[in-house]
Amino acid sequence: MSKANTRMTKQRKEILKILRATKTHPTADWIYDQVKKEIPNISLGTIYRNLNILVEMGKIRVLNYGSSYSRYDGVPENHYHFICDSCGKVFDLDIPVNKTLENYISEKTPFQIFNHRTEFYGLCVECQEKN
Ligand code: ZN
Ligand code: MN
């Protein structure tokens, strides 16, 4: 990435502020609607471009779940997620990342492990109460 690309522009600052203020792991469309309130003439393409740059800069994370659209996470450090099978909401799990598992795989395989990503699936509290 070129150096000019790593500057924190007004647009990037706004996107980052919005992502840091929510725990919902929103889509680009949702972020677009929020940013428009502050920067009315911004385009969805610009939102996508800046989200990708923020991911490359390590300021945010992108969560791709198979065929569905990407969600964005304002917490850049590795952490686990719980995804509700019924409503699709994504929750942060406040538990430590399992480094023992990474060490185990490093020992048992020829691979050099840098990190891992794990998602847990089931029913959120709200959906349990509905059922
Ligand atoms: Zn749910
Ligand atoms: Mn998260």
Model confidence pLDDT, tens digit, residues 37-89: 999 999 999 999 999 999 999 999 999 876 678 999 999 999 999 999 999 99
Q: What is the pLDDT of residue 64?
A: 84
- Token pair belonging to 123: 């029913």
**pLDDT range class, residue 24, cuts 50, 70, 90:** very high
Q: What is the pLDDT of residue 33?
A: 97
Ligand showing the shortest atom-to-Cα distance for residue 92: 2
Kindly state the DSSP code that residue 70 receives in the 8-state scheme: P
User: Is 80-130 in the same CATH topology as 3-73?
Assistant: no
Q: Tell me how far apart the alpha carbons of residues 68 and 88 are, in angstroms, rounded to a whole number.
A: 10
Spatial contact of 60 and 54, defined as CB atoms under 8 Å apart: yes
Q: How far is the CA of 6 from the centre of ligand 1 (A)?
A: 37
Mean pLDDT over each residue of the chain, to the nearest integer: 92
Ligand showing the shortest atom-to-Cα distance for residue 63: 2
Q: How far is the CA of 63 from the centre of ligand 1 (A)?
A: 18
Q: How far is the CA of 5 from the centre of ligand 1 (A)?
A: 38
What residue spans define the domains of the chain? 3-73, 80-130
Q: What is the pLDDT of residue 2?
A: 56
CB atoms within 10 A of CB 79: 16
The percentage of the chain sitting over the pLDDT mark of 70, rounded to a whole number, equals 94
7 or 100, which is more confident: 100
| Cα of 123 vs its chain's centroid, Å | 20
The predicted model gives 22-29 an average pLDDT of 95
Q: Tell me how far apart the alpha carbons of residues 57 and 41 are, in angstroms, rounded to a whole number.
A: 25
Query: Domain 80-130 falls in which CATH fold?
Result: Dna Ligase; domain 1 (3.30.1490)
Bridge partners of 93?
80
Residue 98: HSE in the Cβ half-sphere, 13 Å Cα cutoff: 11
Query: Domain 3-73 falls in which CATH fold?
Result: Arc Repressor Mutant, subunit A (1.10.10)
Q: Tell me how far apart the alpha carbons of residues 81 and 89 are, in angstroms, rounded to a whole number.
A: 10
For ion ligand 2, residues whose CB falls within 5 Å? 73, 75, 92
